[in-house]
């Protein structure tokens, strides 16, 4: 493999750059702009058991150095994804893809993962535990180590594919959640998801978002994400995928130095659809500038 290659749960990637779920559709939307096979992989839109329309509008708001979204898991449901989206994806993307899974009960996570486990092109299951637990008083699975471990065990029981558990930053101690997922059998972790935030319209004196709050993403959250990737990668032995505000080749290298084995790019795709392609193309020159021969050599390099 080349100097940009990395390994994620035993699978070699040509490079560490992975578009994040919810920012890259099902891939074919971007394939008309450039050859998306230049990517390491990508994580497609969050998938639930049943179709979901999402939250009422407005559900997007601007912020300094970022954006807020309260889209609310708009998805056609897992059966439609398997029947309609994945065949179209196979026509334009010839590598393994990451399937992002959301659920509102342990049983739903388990069922969605069991169905996606049968899909050959799905290389990893990324289990988003930031969803509310409708059978547990509305608490998100990702805010409680016991619930996070329960989801992880349930999913691991129905799939042979590597499971990446996607962690929420809206917790007191993210390392406690990370260790619970590792102990329950997670093969890797993705972090961070968006940070809860809001905006108020000065004219109406009301929240901008119909949902009141939304998830903050973009460059504003990068230092927070970097800190959490650093903490979690030191606390666990499984691979970490770093994301949150990544928008340049320099950001990718920072994430790797903090301990990430691969890096996801989210909001930058919404601002510039060529963002991931440009980051990949810029990596060799940035590596040369900082005396980096191979990306694998620097993972966790800032830990000392």
Name every residue whose Cβ is closer than 8 Å to that of residue 22 and which is 6 or more positions away in sequence.
Answer: 45, 46, 69, 71, 100, 266
Distance CA 154, CA 282 (A): 40
**DSSP string computed for 42-98:** -EEEEE-SS-B--SPSP-EEEETTEEEE-----B--HHHIIIIIHHHHHHH--S-EE
Per annotation, catalytic residue among 9, 38, 113, 131: 131
Tell which residue, 38, 2, 37, 80, has the closest CA to residue 280.
Answer: 38
**DSSP string computed for 282-294:** HHHHHHHHTT-S-
CA distances from 93 to 6, 19, 80, 138, 296 (A): 19, 13, 19, 37, 24
70: preceding bond cis by omega (within 30 degrees): no
Distance CA 71, CA 267 (A): 13
38 is catalytic: no
H-helix or E-strand spanning residue 225 = helix 222-235
**Quick one: angle between helices 174-183 and 222-235, nearest 10?**
40
**Quick one: angle between helices 174-183 and 145-156, nearest 10?**
30
Q: Which residues carry out catalysis?
A: 131
């Amino acid at each position: 493999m080349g100097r940009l290659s990395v390994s994620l749960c035993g699978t070699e990637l040509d490079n560490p750059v992975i578009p994040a779920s919810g920012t890259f559709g099902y891939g074919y939307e971007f394939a008309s702009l450039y050859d998306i096979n230049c990517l390491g992989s990508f994580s497609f839109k969050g998938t639930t058991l049943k179709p979901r329309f999402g939250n009422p509008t407005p559900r997007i708001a601007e912020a300094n150095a970022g954006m807020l979204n309260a889209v609310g898991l708009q998805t056609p449901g897992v059966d439609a994804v398997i029947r309609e989206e994945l065949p179209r994806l196979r026509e334009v993307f010839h590598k393994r893809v990451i399937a992002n899974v959301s659920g509102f009960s342990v049983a739903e996570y388990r069922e969605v993962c069991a169905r996606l486990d049968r899909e050959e092109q799905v290389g990893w299951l990324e289990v988003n535990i930031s969803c509310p637990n409708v059978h547990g008083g509305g608490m998100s699975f990702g805010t409680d180590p016991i619930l996070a471990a329960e989801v992880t065990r349930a999913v691991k029981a129905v799939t042979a594919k590597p499971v990446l558990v996607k962690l929420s930053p809206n917790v007191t101690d993210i390392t406690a959640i990370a260790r619970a997922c590792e102990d329950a059998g997670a093969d890797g972790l993705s972090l961070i998801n968006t940070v809860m935030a809001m905006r108020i319209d000065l004219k109406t004196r009301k929240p901008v978002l119909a949902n009141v709050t939304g998830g903050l993403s973009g460059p504003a959250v990068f230092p927070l994400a970097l800190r959490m990737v650093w903490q979690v990668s030191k606390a666990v032995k499984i691979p970490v995928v770093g994301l949150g505000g990544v928008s340049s080749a320099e950001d990718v290298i920072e994430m790797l130095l903090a301990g990430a084995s691969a890096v996801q790019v989210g909001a930058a795709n919404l601002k510039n659809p060529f963002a991931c392609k440009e980051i990949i193309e810029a990596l060799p020159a940035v590596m040369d500038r900082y005396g980096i021969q191979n990306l694998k050599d620097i993972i966790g390099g800032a830990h000392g």
